[in-house]
Amino acid sequence: MKDPNNTRDTRPRTGSPLWSYLSAVTVAGALVLLLAVPQLTPLELWTVLGEPRFWLLAGFVVFGELKPIITPGSNENNGASTSTTFTFAALLYAGLPLALLLQGAALVICGVFRRRSAHRTAFNVAQYALAQGAAAAVLWGFGITASPVHTWVPHGADLGAVMLAGMTYFAVNDVLVGGAVALHERVGLLRVLRWDLAYQVLAHLALLGLAPIIVVVVDRSPAFIPLIILPFTAVYLTAAASVRREHQALHDGLTGLPNRKLLFLRAEEALLARQLREARGDRLQKVGLFLLDLDRFKEVNDTLGHPTGDRLLQIVAHRLTHSVRPGDLVARLGGDEFAVLLPSVRDVPAAREVAIRLRAALSEPVRLDGMSFDLEGSVGIALSPDHAPDFELLLQRADVAMYVAKESRTGVEIYSPASDRNSPARLGLLGDLRRGIDRRELELHYQPKVRLSDDGLLGMEGLLRWRHPERGLLAPEEFLPLAEQTYLMKAITHYVVREALAQAHTWWADGLPVQVTVNVSGRDLLDGQLAETITGELMARRLPATAFGLEITERILMNESAYASETVKALAELNIPLSLDDFGTGYSSLVRLKRLPVGEVKIDASFVRRLTESGEDAVIVQSIIDLVRTLGLRSVAEGVEDAATTARLREMGCDSGQGWHLGRPMAPEDATAWMRRRVPRSPASVAPR
């Protein structure tokens, strides 16, 4: 049955309501014992000691108390005890005093064996004494009494009395324990009784219902008693199999850690416990959820194979479980993703301290198969009620924080609405962006690309802006990261291509034959319709392929699928110029760089801006310029902000530059005026539309 001390086994504070309740029950139970046990006469006691059937009953009672039936969701503290069957059978067959002695002796032995506190054992003895006393009173009301000398065996007509006595036994026992739990948890008694009422009724009334059968068997012949072992053995084996199946359903097969389902159950329990604490006035403690993802784990699987990766995950699981606080739960969600539940944590600094300890435990080198691995993990933290009221939202926001930690390489991050792509503000911005595309609120500003040898114009790069009706002109970093997570990115790319080619057509028709370029991502190069859109726009506007160019980031060289996509091949066949952007910030393969049909390489602005201040950056820039020249490509320096940097780049042999010193991003009409001042006009190169 329920256990009033299954959360902790300490003596309640003297004078508290729980202490008073436990004391009252213990005293009442002691009175029942004092009144009932002395009724055993010397003859009855001698009969008990000399009768094998009573010793067999005693053995079953003790075994049942020591070895409860543990089913899914229960444990040794609240599992169904088969001692209930045999003590109720003793009550029916030989009377209340013997039943009290057997139950009391079994509880004391169990208390010593499991090292339970004296006050807990005393309460358990008292609760069963009161339950048995109430059942005996019901039997007495029907005129049924028994003793070791004058035993009683039920007949068919006695079934109603036995059932009522059994229900009384169960009800008194359940209410007594429920009262202790209610005071301990500070909740209503009815709420406690409803927690597992169905299980309690099914399990314990079934056990009590076997008692009359035991009585008949005991009275018929002690030789039949061992046969009782068979059905009980089947019950134990079935329960054990159910527990094993539940364990498999709730735990990860590789690491043995709890899985997502068990994490959900424990988190729900923790959130409910927090609500109860809050109802009692304790608003300090929170529930914390960490999401931890291993960095670069895929490289281990790809290089050394999945068996080595699995062994590494087992080591990670061991380290995590030995690095958390007692009571915290570590779970594996799948792959290299783990979760840590903190049922109680004071504040953000305390949660961060636990996360830092976890990362420190992971950072210890691991040796496998003669190789040493350095592990790192990114941890996202979300707290309830600060960040979310329920588990699903808590997990989602811990996931958001984890990805921020991974992207920013900070290791540990607390959830922030500002970084949440799913926050109401961002979702509202996404809706505005969708409508903004339809209303043509997106526009391109153009920045010149200048030849350093003679300041001649090489082209204009189209830079995306969003003229938001309320927030004004927004830079791409304020909305593109959001769009990249949705279907809108494809629509934006095609929108930008059409706008850039429309502007190129205007300039070429006006005698300004300048090349216009725009940026695309690796995902865009997997879009089979992109080449078709470019081809259609060039043909519709009668522009040559050289009038348009695409800039792709260096990270494209790390993505084999995008690098070898049909779109890249189609663009190469169209002779669309490609430019490699942000060079120097990734891990480029020179073989791929040579094979990719790019005409120029743009040196990242982070190196160019420190060119005149950092000798190390100057060496990097010079090396890139020399490499690009060796490969027969053109070099373009980004972020040219002053005359000194421009002069130094000329000395290094850089072909061209781009930056505010050479020309700021301009609206189309301003860019047109700028070009007319710098570029001699030529006859129109395309027929007007």
How far apart CA 416 and CA 423 sit, in angstroms, is 10
Q: Would residue 7 count as lying in a domain?
A: no
Together in a domain, 319 and 446: no
Q: Is residue 223 part of a domain?
A: yes
**Residue 606, domain extent:** 440-678
Residues 211 and 278 in one domain: no
Residue 689 counted as domain residue: no
The radius of gyration of the chain from alpha carbons, rounded to an integer in Å, stands at 39
Out of 419, 452, 485, pick the residue that ends a domain: 419
Q: Does residue 281 carry a pLDDT above 90?
A: no
**How many whole angstroms from its chain centre is CA 121?**
40
CATH number of the structural domain spanning residue 500? 3.20.20.450
Do 603 and 584 form a contact (C-beta atoms < 8 A)?
A: yes
Is residue 573 in some structural domain?
Answer: yes
CATH number at residue 307: 3.30.70.270
Q: Higher pLDDT residue, 570 or 31?
A: 31
The answer on 295 and 265 residing in a single domain is yes
pLDDT tops 50 at residue 2 = no
Share of the chain above pLDDT 70, in %: 83
Residues 523 and 575 in one domain: yes
Place of tokens 């706008």: 499
> What does the DSSP 8-state code read for residue 386?
T
Q: Indicate if 616 and 598 belong to the same structural domain.
A: yes
Residues 486 and 600 in one domain: yes
Average pLDDT, rounded, for the chain: 82
Enclosing H/E stretch for 429 = helix 424-438
Residue 687 included in any domain: no
The pLDDT-based confidence of 451 (bands split at 50, 70, 90) is: very high
- What is the structure's pLDDT at 481? 74
Q: What angle do the packed helices 118-141 and 17-36 form, to 10 degrees?
A: 50
Among the listed ranges 136-140, 170-174, 557-561, which one has the minimum average pLDDT value? 557-561
Decide: residue 608, CB within 10 A, 0-12 exposed, 13-18 middle, 19+ buried.
Answer: buried
CA atoms within 13 A of residue 205's CA, in its CB half-sphere: 13
| Each residue's pLDDT tens digit, 187-199 | 677 776 776 666 6
User: At 631, is the secondary structure helix, strand, or coil?
Assistant: coil
Distance of CA 551 to the CA centre of its chain: 38
Q: Is residue 688 part of a domain?
A: no
Last residue of a domain, one of 371, 389, 419: 419
* Contact (CB, 8 A) for 567 and 573: no
Say what the pLDDT of residue 246 is. Answer: 67
Same domain, 81 and 207: yes
Least confident window among 259-273, 378-392, 408-422, 535-549: 408-422
State the Cα–Cα distance between residues 194 and 177, nearest whole angstrom: 13
Q: Assess whether 181 and 325 both reside in one domain.
A: no
- Number of domain units in the chain: 3
Q: HSE on the CB side for 632, CA within 13 Å?
A: 5
pLDDT of 3 > 90? The answer is: no
Query: Given a cut of 70, is residue 70 above it in pLDDT?
Result: no
The pLDDT score that the predictor gives to residue 240 is 65
Higher-confidence residue of 51 and 660: namely: 660
CB half-sphere exposure, 376, CA atoms < 13 A: 11
Q: Which residue has the higher pLDDT, 435 or 236?
A: 435
Classify burial at 299, counting beta carbons within 10 Å of its beta carbon; exposed 0-12, middle 13-18, buried 19 or more: exposed
Q: Which residues pair with 383 in a beta bridge?
A: 288
pLDDT in tens, 530-566: 888 898 899 999 999 989 998 887 555 545 444 545 6
Longest C-alpha distance within the chain, in Å? 130
Percent of the chain topping pLDDT 90: 23
Q: Among the three residues 384, 419, 454, which one is the final residue of a domain in this structure?
A: 419
Burial letters 677-688, b for 16+ CB under 10 A, else e: eebeeeeebbee
Residue 123: Cβ within 10 Å count = 23
Amino acid 303: pLDDT: 59
How many Å apart are CA 194 and CA 178, to the nearest integer? 10
Looking at the fold, whether 164 and 313 belong to one and the same domain comes out as no
> Based on the domain organization, do 272 and 389 belong to the same domain?
yes
pLDDT tens by residue, 393-438: 888 888 888 888 887 778 888 988 776 666 666 667 777 888 888 8
Task: Please indicate, yes or no, if residue 435 is contained in any of the structural domains.
Answer: no
One-letter amino acid identity for 14?
Answer: T
- Distance, in Å, from the CA atom of 580 to the CA atom of 218, rounded to the nearest integer, reads 91
Residue 472 lies in a domain: yes
Q: At 150, which CATH number?
A: 1.10.1760.20
Same domain, 517 and 639: yes
| Whether residue 160 sits in one domain with residue 71 | yes
HSE toward the beta carbon, residue 132, CA cutoff 13 A: 35
What pLDDT, on the 0 to 100 scale, is given for residue 7?
A: 37
Question: pLDDT tens-digit profile of 668-687?
Answer: 999 999 998 887 766 666 65
